[in-house]
Amino acid sequence: MNKIETERLYLRGFVATDGAALHEYLSDEEVVAYEPYKAFSLEEAEQEAIRRSENPDFWAVCLKDGHLIGNVYFSKGAFDTWMIGYVFNKAYWGQGYASESVEAVINYGFASLGAHRITALCNPKNEASWHLMERVGMRREGTLKKNVYFWKDEQGNPIWQDTYEYGLLKEEHENN
Ligand SMILES: CC(C)(COP(=O)(O)OP(=O)(O)OC[C@H]1O[C@@H](n2cnc3c(N)ncnc32)[C@H](O)[C@@H]1OP(=O)(O)O)[C@@H](O)C(=O)NCCC(=O)NCCS
């Protein structure tokens, strides 16, 4: 299993028994507010842990004592461009853990996976997310207007939302 180690954390692949730890944060409405899914039940989190254990794009972020506190998603697209995403347990927000793990995955992507460019998307209202992107050196490349919807209103109309798109090139990262 691949492993990335940082000063305070290690990142590893998911295992089928991560369901309870995943439930700790995916059951929280505030944590999933900008995600394209609703809060998870324990059973759904257990299924999700199994699904993630079969998908190497998901990294489980753990404290050095082994406690799983969040996840980073890192997936290859066309033209050596990789997409990064992240969700963390609210109990661990504001301590730099998300930045530390996203930076580690970005370093790994450029140094070991042949990434040329890394991108990330978020809802403009999700300030914590785009602050994080800027903290790790990503550039806002544009605002897509009403490009996506996750939910419909009571009349069945899409609830459109805008998207900030961020990018980072390998050479920009190396020169930072
Ligand atoms: C997005 C998310 C991961 C950001 O988490 P976060 O806690 O804000 O990010 P960090 O853990 O890197 O914390 C950074 C903050 O901790 C502070 N901090 C404290 N100790 C720190 C340390 N040792 N190192 C770095 N930062 C530290 C920083 O000052 C920073 O605060 P600032 O924004 O005022 O500068 C989190 O809000 C989340 O999981 N949200 C729900 C899921 C989600 O929306 N994901 C993104 C979808 S696009």
Looking from the CA of residue 34, the nearest atom of ligand 1 is: 44
62 pLDDT tier (thresholds 50, 70, 90): very high
- pLDDT tens, position by position, 116-143: 999 999 999 999 999 999 999 999 999 9
**Ligand 1: nearest atom to the Cα of 135:** 35
CB burial string 5-34: b at 16+ within 10 A, e below: ebeebbbbbbeeebbebbbbbbbbeebbee
Can you give the pLDDT at residue 30?
Answer: 98
> Any idea where the domains of the chain sit in the sequence?
3-175
H runs (alpha helix) in the chain: 19-26, 42-53, 97-112, 127-135, 170-175
Q: What is the mean pLDDT of residues 62-77?
A: 98
Pull the structure tokens for residue 6: 């940082």
Is residue 112 over pLDDT 80?
A: yes
Q: Is the CB of 136 under 6 A from ligand 1?
A: no
| In the block, residue with structure tokens 């070991």 | 112
CA 127 / ligand 1 centre spacing (Å)? 10
Instruction: Determine which residue's CA is closest to atom 32 belonging to ligand 1.
Output: 94
Question: pLDDT at residue 2 above 90?
Answer: no
Whole-number pLDDT of residue 176? 81
The residue to which tokens 């990064």 are assigned: 84
Q: Which amino acid is located at 45 in the chain?
A: A
Ligand 1 centroid distance, CA of 155 (Å): 36
Tokens 């507010």 label which residue?
33
Segment 163-173, tens digit of pLDDT: 999 999 999 99
List the CATH code of the domain at 3-175.
3.40.630.30
Mean pLDDT of the 44-69 span:
98
Report the residue among 8, 88, 162 best suited for mutation to probe ligand 1: largest number of ligand atoms under 8 A from its CB: 88
Amino acid at 163: T
pLDDT digits (tens, 9 = 90+) for 22-48: 999 999 999 999 999 999 999 999 999
